[in-house]
Structure 1
Amino acid sequence: MTRWSLRLAPGAAPKTPLQRPPKAKGYRLDLDGLRGFAIALVVVFHVWFGRVSGGVDVFLVLSGFFFTGLLLRRAESAEGVGVVHTARRTARRLLPAMVVVLAAVVVATVLLRPYTQWPDIAAQTLASLLYYQNWHLALSWSDYLAADPSVSPLQHLWSMSIQGQFYLAVLLLVALVAWCCRRWGSPTALRPVLAVTLTVLTVASFAYAEHGVATHQGWNYYDSFARTWELLVGGLIALAAPWISLPRAVRAVLAALGFVAIAACGWLIDGANAFPGPAALLPVGAAVALILAGNNVDADAHPMPNRLLATAPMVRLGELAYALYLWHWPILIFYLGERRTPTAGFVGGSAIILLALALAYLTNRFVEERLRLRPKALETGGPAATSTRRTGVVVLALGTVVLTAAFSAHIVTRVYPPQPVGYLNPAVYPGAEALVRGVSGPHAPMRPSLWEAPADAAYPTRDGCIADWDTRDVITCGYGDSSAERTIAVVGSSHAEHWVPALDVLAREHHFRIATYLKMGCPLTVAAEPTYKGEAIPDCRDWSAEVIDRLGAERPDWVFTTGTRPRDDTGDETPTDYLDVWTQLSKRHLNVIAIRDTPWLRRDGVRYRGTDCLAQRGDRISCGMPRAAALDQTNPETEAAASFSNVFPVDLTNAVCEPQVCPITEGNILIYHDEHHLTASYSRSLAPELGRQLQSILGWW
């Protein structure tokens, strides 16, 4: 008795077997195997190597090939495309497994993750279920270079969103073209018209993706239109497939090269920093090669790589591929979060993969397969139909609960968003003065609270006065005493920005003006190819060049910027690039205040939010960092600045850290609102100490 049949009780009447729908004549089993091979590479590279394998790109090509081919067959049949029927069929194939995984992630989040992360997971759950997760991630420019505990367990669903958006768009496109061809009596024009349309869209999308790699790769990676060309290539192959028949030797070469290229892609290309630009031609071309290698020939005539992909284990892996892709990432992220480690290791990784395979099998067996019973079979009734209906009801109820919970949490956050903290009485909330002057206040609730913390950012962030990742323009704003003649220009990244609240207090008291020149992730640089998180950011280079020239022309009295950065492992340093910037400012006769950067919260190289740690019953010390791990014993910018007569280093470490530890709160004030940015409240509490150190440098009070 096969695993697809139902067991019979003694004396019971025979029941209808629960079987998969039969494969159509000429069905390409090797492409099922290719899908399994591609997703297996995705899983292995995510779990053990922290790299992008190119498997998702192969998967997108296959999705475009299969779905466009389906639409063409329906459009050329008497039934027509059937937009509603096709959309319903596609939703029935994609949504059930997605709903099950999202429900599991929501439950795991409530049980395992701090409540400070629940609003973001709710927003991402909603984005995943409604197929706009890629745009949600693009707007936040999440880092997909590697898994770590700080990454979202739903981040991988960006590709499902792009796939769903493509399905809807190409469904409407094919239906429209087919209707027009029938309307004007030219049904044979369907394929030529679609071929021209898809070719134009493919070229446009590819050019857009190529431009995006060079200008805003973080956004580009998730951009639907930048990814569309990969799916459209599959669609074009489906259009041309009936007329493509290659010699045996050519098919053998294509198959061999395609198989090797897919297997090696993850090692040859840093996909997170290069896809979906021209580098993605390797996995896309490899997928096309394997599709063409088996096109219009019997399975027996397939080249060896295609025959290998058509073997039963590979085909079965292909059937599990979708569910395996859905499950592997959240399991990995929750595992890393619970173990508080950036990597899974061989044993942990093996356990993750085995668990993902087991859950993929169960999802496929008891959800996907049961809901693929055809409508006619449902009408005839029987145990299989009953089982399908029950599964459908359960999945529908589960989806409703997940959607309602995610939507409700998202709406609550939008209606009652966290608010920044206003004035705090220094007698009760001394903040940094508790460290510097030993000022002790009475016991009081921490401010900002865990709920308020995300909103208690520096003023330029709140006011839209810092250029984001995709803004090349120089944005300037003024703070302090706007009528004052003396000016300090605060220049660089968000780590220069978070000193603005402290400087604003001093500027209002001592009558000087603050001018901001700020860009996210972009300290001033003159490097030819600056990077952030390992990713090229040419906008930062061009932005910095313009800012340096403007500073030379506008001539503020002082330039205030960061003078150090954390190393990748422990401690901090003054990068050579900073010295090059100081040289450029010196040539323009500009005086520089170089502030030592504050510690970045991290364990084993993985950043974490102090608010998350506190929400998990941590305290001010356990949620902080050992000072020796965060900072060098001596300020690294001191020696570097000695060579520049115009550069004056300032170090407020002792106003942020105790002798042995850099805590998460001080003087009843939360120090960080995220992994490494000061809260505006704590920044304001730093004003007295910053003023004491600047007094001898500026001589203004």
Structure 2
Amino acid sequence: MSTGNEATKTFRPEIQAIRAVAVGAVVVFHLWPNALPGGFVGVDLFFVVSGFLITGHLLREIDATGTVRLGQFWARRARRLLPASVAVLVAVSVATILLVPGENWRQFFREITASAFYGQNWLLASDSVDYLAAENLASPVQHFWSLSVEEQFYVVWPLLLLGVTIMAARRAVRVGGRASSPRRLALYALVAVTVASLAWSVLTTVLDPASAYFVTTTRAWEFGAGGLLALVAVPQSHEARTGLAARFMAAVQRAFASPQRRAIASYTGWALIAAALVLFDGQTPFPGFAALLPVIGVLLVIATGAPRSAWSPTRAMAARPVQFLGDISYSLYLWHWPLIVILAPLPLYRSMGAVGPVFILTVSLALAVLTKRFIEDPVRFSPGIKRLKLRYVGVAAATGMIGVLLIGVGSTTVLGVHEEASQAKIDTILETESDCLGASALSDSIEGCETTDLSDVLIPTPSTIKEDVPALLEEDCRTQTGGTELKTCTFGEEGSNYAVALVGDSHAAAWFPALKKIADERGWELDTYYKSNCPFNAVPMSKDDESCAEWNTEVNESLAKRDPYDLVIVSHKNDAPQDEVADVEAGFVESWQPLVDRGSEVVAIRDVPKMPADAMRCFPESGYDPTSCAPTEEQALKAVDPIVNAAEDLPGAATIDMNEYFCSDDVCPLVIGGVIVYRDSHHISATYSDTLAPYLEEKLLATINQAS
């Protein structure tokens, strides 16, 4: 292992080889996921390499100048990374406008903007625990989450080492009776950050795995591991050579004293990386402890360098194709994912069959080469650009980022104008065609709806369908996934002689627009108890079981303290595995029994049809044709709904099946009476729920009267 500026040259073959394997793993994982199920660990290889290279660079600067020149460091990072990333974001923005259905624009441009300002990872972490965003499409810039983590590292890391340098210069920290050197303080700081982040990663991966994958705090230890290796690999000053880092370095050198030992260690490192790529998959808790496997592998490969042994991996690492792939790894990473997301849904791409992924790989490589040749290198190595004053570099960087923002703002503004015009047309239609709107089109009591102008109408407009949610989903009325606080809201006529409760998850909340209309018209009090992804069940089948169980306890205690409701309406997302259906049924009965004992009527509404993924994809591609993408009842409806069985088993409970207003003639269309029925694969739109009010009211009254 070499020191000083020589380190960059010494480590180049293996660094480029690691980059090549990292980007190759990610690309293969995205194009052929079954071929390399653990390919997602490629980003972790990048993180360790970045920690090693950047820490080494900063340490050499501290040794040479006694400080860290933040402005120059950030300017170099901006010249290296921003030109290619801004170019890709602009290209993705244009492709979104030209090729992506309007219903996805808001999500996509929101993520494009977050990516431009390197906050994509925190946005995805937030969306991962937001039940309303659970069915968001993978955006063409989703992969910018890892670049966001790296950029945040580039901001914080030099500040940390600068702080260490200042403390050392002021002799603010003393160990063993003498002031600590910058290297020694850096070692303490890196160890503290690395250990704390690893512990947090392990804990968060268990408690909140969805957000753990994206947040910076669970990944910082990977940069720290690379930084610690740089700390012992690049000692310069006399004090560093005689300190703890040097002693560790000497131990490492003794362990790898011969080329043969270094070759064995290098092969071991590559074997650990290969094991992670092959053995890990989407079910592996990650990052957490599992990430240690590829991280240790990378550290071994870097630490052993390029062993000069006849049977070492040096020749393979230094092979021209490997070095070439490592050289274009950044641009290749940037381009491959947008091409997958934007091209894959297109009919032309799907007609390619097995050739499609090969086509995307070929185009990605070509774009990567062009970007490296005409964007990355000219900006990175241009003497004129290097001589620019820091403020000009900052202005150029800000201009590119703000330019991406303005494209998104302009596009969504135009979309909003189009939506307003469409809504004006819709309002006019609603005034004249309300008798056949939505569910009325399937009602036996209304005839002639098939001949109305609503056959050519889409309400709401497709670009706003994801926002067509019940008002109940407001924060004050909803307990979020992971939350336990009981939030209740009252609608209708408060203090009425007839009190109704709506209790359950988002599938129960989907009936709120219809129930509110009924409550307003009949003078009922309507109270809501709603938690995302949590049915009213004593043994909730949910990925969020702990908070869900606590929330259910709160609901039961609250219901027991107040006067009994006349009517309690429940529903749920019917997604329990077949072997758990009996437990779910028993859980419903256990939750409802106290209500029935106190005189409440419990009415369970059977879950609505679920749209297959291909139907939801087909819908915008077909030009929003109401029937061409419609699944059959067998495809959309589960034969068994445990909430129905539970109501049949409990005297005092009853069921309502509204699916005659979702399916007709063995088909479950996505548009009924001009109204888009689903805002995602399993949630009905608030507008369609509203049109169900008279038919839900009819069934409710019949059930209540029959019970009394």
- Alignment TM-score > 0.5, same fold: yes
Q: Is the 8 A contact 1:220 1:226 kept in 2?
A: yes
Q: Is the 8 A contact 1:259 1:286 kept in 2?
A: yes
Deviation at 1:118, TM superposition (A): 2.2
> 2:151 is matched with which residue?
164
Q: Secondary structure at the match of 2:625?
A: coil
Question: 1 CA distance for matches of 2:498 and 2:188?
Answer: 63
> 2:27 is matched with which residue?
43
RMSD over equivalenced CA pairs, Å: 4.1
Q: Is the 8 A contact 2:504 2:572 kept in 1?
A: no
Q: Any residues of structure 2 matched to 1:245-260 within 5 Å, and which?
A: 245-246=252-253, 247-248=255-256, 251-260=262-271
Q: 555, 570, 573: which one pairs with 1:561?
A: 570
Q: 332, 340, 360: which one pairs with 1:324?
A: 332
Deviation at 1:368, TM superposition (A): 1.8
Q: Any residues of structure 2 matched to 1:45-64 within 5 Å, and which?
A: 45-49=29-33, 51-53=37-39, 54-64=41-51
> 1:405 is matched with which residue?
407
Q: Secondary structure at the match of 1:151?
A: coil
Relative to structure 1, the CA distance from residue 465 to residue 304 in structure 2 (aligned partners, 3 Å threshold; closer, same or farther) is: farther
Deviation at 1:344, TM superposition (A): 9.2
Relative to structure 1, the CA distance from residue 544 to residue 289 in structure 2 (aligned partners, 3 Å threshold; closer, same or farther) is: farther
Relative to structure 1, the CA distance from residue 281 to residue 340 in structure 2 (aligned partners, 3 Å threshold; closer, same or farther) is: farther
Q: Is the 8 A contact 1:149 1:334 kept in 2?
A: no
One-letter amino acid of the counterpart of residue 442, structure 2? L
> 2:238 is matched with which residue?
none
Question: 2 CA distance for matches of 1:553 and 1:619?
Answer: 50
Deviation at 1:37, TM superposition (A): 0.5
Question: 2 CA distance for matches of 1:77 and 1:410?
Answer: 50
Deviation at 1:168, TM superposition (A): 0.7
> 1:690 is matched with which residue?
696
Relative to structure 1, the CA distance from residue 593 to residue 277 in structure 2 (aligned partners, 3 Å threshold; closer, same or farther) is: farther
Q: Is the 8 A contact 1:592 1:647 kept in 2?
A: yes
Find out whether 1:530 has 2:537 as its counterpart. no
Q: Is the 8 A contact 2:612 2:635 kept in 1?
A: no
> 1:597 is matched with which residue?
607
> 1:213 is matched with which residue?
205
Q: Is the 8 A contact 1:149 1:342 kept in 2?
A: no
Q: 502, 517, 523: which one pairs with 1:490?
A: 502
Q: 423, 440, 446: which one pairs with 1:433?
A: 440
User: Mean Cα displacement is larger for which, 279-288 or 175-184?
Assistant: 175-184
Find out whether 1:88 has 2:94 as its counterpart. no
One-letter amino acid of the counterpart of residue 92, structure 1? R
> 2:672 is matched with which residue?
666
Q: Is the 8 A contact 1:490 1:496 kept in 2?
A: yes
Deviation at 1:79, TM superposition (A): 7.2
Question: 1 CA distance for matches of 2:196 and 2:68?
Answer: 26
Q: Any residues of structure 2 matched to 1:266-281 within 5 Å, and which?
A: 266-271=277-282, 274-281=285-292
> 1:286 is matched with which residue?
297
> 1:385 is matched with which residue?
none
Question: 2 CA distance for matches of 1:446 and 1:633?
Answer: 30
Question: 2 CA distance for matches of 1:185 and 1:642?
Answer: 74
Question: 1 CA distance for matches of 2:307 and 2:289?
Answer: 32
Q: Secondary structure at the match of 2:10?
A: coil
User: Mean Cα displacement is larger for which, 687-696 or 633-642?
Assistant: 633-642
Deviation at 1:624, TM superposition (A): 3.8
- Where structure 1 has 5 or more consecutive residues not aligned to the other structure, the ranges are 1-20, 381-391
Deviation at 1:75, TM superposition (A): 1.6
User: Mean Cα displacement is larger for which, 96-105 or 460-469?
Assistant: 460-469
Q: 525, 530, 533: which one pairs with 1:518?
A: 530
> 2:14 is matched with which residue?
30
| Deviation per residue, 1:237-294 (Å, 9 max, x gap) | 2223343224237645543332122222244334576222222222222222322333
Q: Secondary structure at the match of 1:260?
A: helix
Question: 2 CA distance for matches of 1:519 and 1:185?
Answer: 51
> 2:190 is matched with which residue?
198
- TM-score w.r.t. the length of structure 2 is 0.81
| Deviation per residue, 1:438-474 (Å, 9 max, x gap) | 3556536543333543333112113542222343323
One-letter amino acid of the counterpart of residue 28, structure 2? V
One-letter amino acid of the counterpart of residue 203, structure 2? H
> 2:486 is matched with which residue?
474
Question: 2 CA distance for matches of 1:104 and 1:557?
Answer: 58
Q: Is the 8 A contact 2:125 2:210 kept in 1?
A: yes
Question: 1 CA distance for matches of 2:212 and 2:682?
Answer: 26
One-letter amino acid of the counterpart of residue 257, structure 1? T
Relative to structure 1, the CA distance from residue 86 to residue 687 in structure 2 (aligned partners, 3 Å threshold; closer, same or farther) is: same
User: Mean Cα displacement is larger for which, 111-120 or 369-378?
Assistant: 369-378
Q: 352, 367, 372: which one pairs with 2:375?
A: 367
Question: 1 CA distance for matches of 2:642 and 2:591?
Answer: 20
> 2:584 is matched with which residue?
578
Relative to structure 1, the CA distance from residue 459 to residue 273 in structure 2 (aligned partners, 3 Å threshold; closer, same or farther) is: farther
Q: Is the 8 A contact 1:134 1:158 kept in 2?
A: yes
Q: Any residues of structure 2 matched to 1:327-476 within 5 Å, and which?
A: 327-339=335-347, 346-373=354-381, 375=383, 401-409=403-411, 427=434, 430-436=437-443, 437-438=445-446, 443=453, 446-462=458-474, 464-476=476-488
One-letter amino acid of the counterpart of residue 595, structure 1? I
Q: Is the 8 A contact 2:344 2:350 kept in 1?
A: yes
Q: Is the 8 A contact 1:202 1:229 kept in 2?
A: yes
User: Mean Cα displacement is larger for which, 222-231 or 586-595?
Assistant: 586-595
Relative to structure 1, the CA distance from residue 342 to residue 484 in structure 2 (aligned partners, 3 Å threshold; closer, same or farther) is: farther
One-letter amino acid of the counterpart of residue 443, structure 1? D
Deviation at 1:52, TM superposition (A): 4.8
- Where structure 2 has 5 or more consecutive residues not aligned to the other structure, the ranges are 174-178, 235-245, 389-393
Q: Secondary structure at the match of 1:490?
A: strand
Deviation at 1:33, TM superposition (A): 0.4
One-letter amino acid of the counterpart of residue 358, structure 2? S
Deviation at 1:46, TM superposition (A): 1.7
Q: Secondary structure at the match of 2:527?
A: strand
Greater fraction helix: 2
User: Mean Cα displacement is larger for which, 266-275 or 118-127?
Assistant: 266-275
Deviation at 1:159, TM superposition (A): 0.5
Q: Secondary structure at the match of 1:473?
A: coil
Question: 2 CA distance for matches of 1:337 and 1:504?
Answer: 38
Percent of aligned positions that are identical: 32
Relative to structure 1, the CA distance from residue 584 to residue 52 in structure 2 (aligned partners, 3 Å threshold; closer, same or farther) is: farther
Q: Is the 8 A contact 1:529 1:538 kept in 2?
A: no
Q: Secondary structure at the match of 1:369?
A: helix
Q: Is the 8 A contact 2:419 2:461 kept in 1?
A: no
Q: Is the 8 A contact 1:198 1:232 kept in 2?
A: yes
> 1:16 is matched with which residue?
none
Relative to structure 1, the CA distance from residue 132 to residue 669 in structure 2 (aligned partners, 3 Å threshold; closer, same or farther) is: same
Q: 219, 222, 238: which one pairs with 2:214?
A: 222
Question: 2 CA distance for matches of 1:593 and 1:573?
Answer: 25
One-letter amino acid of the counterpart of residue 437, structure 2? P
Relative to structure 1, the CA distance from residue 540 to residue 439 in structure 2 (aligned partners, 3 Å threshold; closer, same or farther) is: farther
User: Mean Cα displacement is larger for which, 264-273 or 188-197?
Assistant: 264-273
